[in-house]
């Protein structure tokens, strides 16, 4: 009988210990920060660091907590659906498929190549390749090819303690898998198994012209609209009958835009790089009308600059397509004759902040001012940021806009936009502001596209010491509110921050 009592007592004590241990494992430190959540500091578990030392996936930046911390991740860098598998093997049984932008919940990061996630409201749990998941909804993008503009480093993460994995030489092709907030994008070195982070400022959508540095240093604007009197020596390439120098706009052309990272794109009277043959200088983003691609030279097209009013040769490698680009003429180009750039491009310098407002479906950004599935450049979900560049389009329903998430310019139906605070043409500030410093004991302070705490409205991360510019006045900041509308010079963008974590700098 005593033996039975001891056994029962032992079992009781063991159950109590296990219950206490289980309860302890559910405790999480709730450190301070933006609304008490973002600056939570957790210790890494051994299991979350069982990966190979040279593993170059995105886990270092995404996964910093204990297993099953419930972080939301988003599918990125894919054109076709990706599999959720029963195991982390490539031939594991397929349980479900995910499309670009789909959301999953992180359950575990034990695998070296995959995350164990929950999808479809927990109905399915399985493994998904890490390289195609990001922790930032705004970072989601299709896989697109870019080129390294100058020798740069490939890093293992985008964190301050990042380590260099290798050097990438100029014009190395990379596949962009996510456009993370901040200075680093996640890429795959094309046709290799090398993944990592590269400064986004060192990625171009075109190969870099070897002589582009000479062009930018030879910035002599007086050459524009000159050289109408071409002589026989420098006009050897004109025997095709092409006209060079000033002239009226062509009747038939294809619409393109100059795409140069620095300097300018020259329009020339000969098909070669030479400072003596420049007819004028075309700046980044300016319209170029391509009249003929049949020049006998693979790199140069015969074109017209509507801004300069001149004809000449342009290096096609520094042109990006605009709108529907098949045999564009004056009759079907009524939406493009205002010089608006359509398609991919850099952040605008001047804009008004709005947000997509749709009860269902999505809001399209288009290359024409009409509802047509064929003219969609991209899709914006409800609540996503839309930067209105111009309301003067000649159409009462469509505004010319930029989507920061998609990185494209186009037309958006204004009836599905709602304004953000300070949306009276917000520009990059030059004066009239105070410098405030970010102060967080750990983690980060979120820059948001709405004045509320929500994981879906984060657009960038501000770390301890990062600067923001604060403006007084009701159009920008109401100092009695928790969230202030500020400008971040680090990211060159506006947004809301929790004012409890910024302090006026002594540098004012």
Q: Please give the helix or strand (H or E) that residue 62 lies within, else none.
A: helix 59-62
pLDDT band at 427, cuts 50/70/90? low
Distance of CA 362 to the CA centre of its chain: 19
Whole-angstrom Cα distance, residue 467 to residue 469?
A: 7
pLDDT band at 474, cuts 50/70/90? low
pLDDT tens digits, one per residue of 45-93 = 323 333 333 333 444 444 433 344 578 899 999 888 899 999 999 899 9
Task: Return the pLDDT at 501.
Answer: 92
Contact yes or no for 84/98 (Cβ under 8 A)? yes
First-to-last alpha carbon distance for the chain, in angstroms, is 82
Task: Return the pLDDT at 60.
Answer: 44
Over the range 166-204, which residues count as b (16 or more CB within 10 Å of their CB) and which as e? Answer: eebeeebbbbbbbbbbbebbbbbbeeeeebbbbbeebbb
Distance of CA 385 to the CA centre of its chain: 12
209 phi-psi bin (left φ>0, alpha ψ -120 to 50, beta other): beta
Ordered DSSP codes for 192-227: SS-EEEEEGGGEESSPPPTTHHHHHH---GGGTT--
Comparing CA positions, the residue from 140, 103, 186, 203 lying closest to residue 405 is: 140
Task: Return the pLDDT at 364.
Answer: 93
- Strand, coil or helix: 321: strand
Task: Return the pLDDT at 394.
Answer: 82
Task: Return the pLDDT at 338.
Answer: 55
Contact yes or no for 102/76 (Cβ under 8 A)? no
* 31 burial level (CB within 10 Å; 0-12, 13-18, 19+): middle
Q: What is the DSSP letter of 19?
A: H
Contact yes or no for 497/446 (Cβ under 8 A)? yes
Task: Return the pLDDT at 430.
Answer: 62
Comparing CA positions, the residue from 181, 182, 184 lying closest to residue 140 is: 181
Whole-angstrom Cα distance, residue 118 to residue 66?
A: 16
- The total number of residues shown for the chain amounts to 508
Q: Which residue has the higher pLDDT, 38 or 417?
A: 417
Comparing CA positions, the residue from 98, 163, 104, 109 lying closest to residue 135 is: 104
Task: Return the pLDDT at 86.
Answer: 94
Instruction: Report the percentage of the chain scoring pLDDT > 90.
Output: 18
Whole-angstrom Cα distance, residue 25 to residue 277?
A: 73
């Amino acid at each position: 009988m005593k033996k039975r009592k001891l056994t029962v007592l032992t079992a009781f004590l063991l159950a109590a210990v296990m219950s206490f241990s289980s309860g302890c494992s559910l405790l999480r430190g709730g450190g301070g920060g933006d609304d008490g959540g973002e600056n939570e500091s957790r210790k890494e578990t051994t299991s979350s660091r069982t990966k190979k030392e040279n593993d170059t996936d995105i886990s270092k930046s995404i996964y910093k907590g204990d297993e099953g911390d419930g972080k939301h991740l988003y599918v990125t860098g894919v054109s076709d659906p990706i599999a959720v598998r029963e195991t982390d093997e490539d031939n594991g049984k397929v349980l479900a498929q995910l499309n670009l932008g789909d959301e999953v919940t992180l359950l575990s990061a034990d695998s070296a190549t995959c995350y164990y996630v929950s999808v479809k409201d927990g109905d399915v749990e399985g493994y998904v390749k890490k390289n195609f998941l990001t922790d930032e909804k705004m970072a989601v993008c299709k896989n697109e090819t870019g080129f390294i503009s100058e020798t740069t480093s490939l890093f293992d993460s985008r964190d301050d303690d990042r380590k260099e994995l290798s050097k990438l030489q100029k014009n190395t092709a990379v596949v962009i898998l996510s456009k993370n907030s901040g200075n680093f994008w996640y890429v795959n070195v094309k046709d290799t198994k090398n993944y990592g982070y590269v400064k986004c400022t060192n990625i171009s959508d075109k190969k870099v012209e070897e002589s582009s540095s000479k062009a930018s240093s030879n910035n002599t604007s007086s050459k524009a609209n000159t050289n109408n009197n071409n002589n026989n020596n420098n006009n050897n390439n004109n025997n095709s009958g092409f006209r060079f120098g000033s002239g009226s706009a062509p009747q038939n052309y294809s619409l393109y835009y100059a795409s140069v990272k620095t300097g300018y794109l020259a329009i020339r009277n000969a098909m070669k790089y030479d400072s003596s043959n420049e007819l004028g200088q075309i700046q980044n983003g300016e319209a170029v009308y391509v009249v003929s691609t049949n020049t006998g030279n693979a790199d140069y097209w015969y074109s017209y600059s509507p801004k300069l009013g001149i004809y000449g040769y342009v290096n096609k490698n520094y042109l990006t397509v605009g709108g529907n680009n098949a045999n564009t003429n004056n009759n079907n180009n009524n939406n493009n004759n205002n010089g608006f750039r359509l398609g991919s491009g850099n952040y605008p310098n001047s804009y008004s902040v709005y947000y997509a407002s749709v009860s269902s479906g999505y809001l399209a950004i288009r290359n024409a001012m009409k509802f047509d599935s064929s003219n969609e450049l991209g899709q914006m979900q409800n609540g996503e940021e839309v930067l209105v560049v111009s309301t003067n389009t000649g159409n009462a329903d469509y505004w010319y806009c930029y989507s920061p998430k998609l990185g494209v310019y186009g037309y958006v139906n204004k009836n599905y936009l709602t304004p953000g605070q300070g949306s009276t043409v917000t520009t990059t500030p030059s004066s009239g502001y105070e410098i405030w410093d970010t102060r967080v004991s750990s983690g980060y302070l979120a820059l948001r596209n709405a004045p509320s705490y929500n994981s879906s409205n984060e657009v960038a991360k501000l770390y301890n010491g990062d600067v923001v510019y604060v403006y007084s006045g009701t159009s920008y900041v109401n100092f009695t509110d928790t969230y202030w509308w500020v400008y971040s010079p680090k990211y060159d963008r506006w947004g809301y921050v929790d004012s409890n974590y910024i302090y006026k700098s002594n540098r004012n």
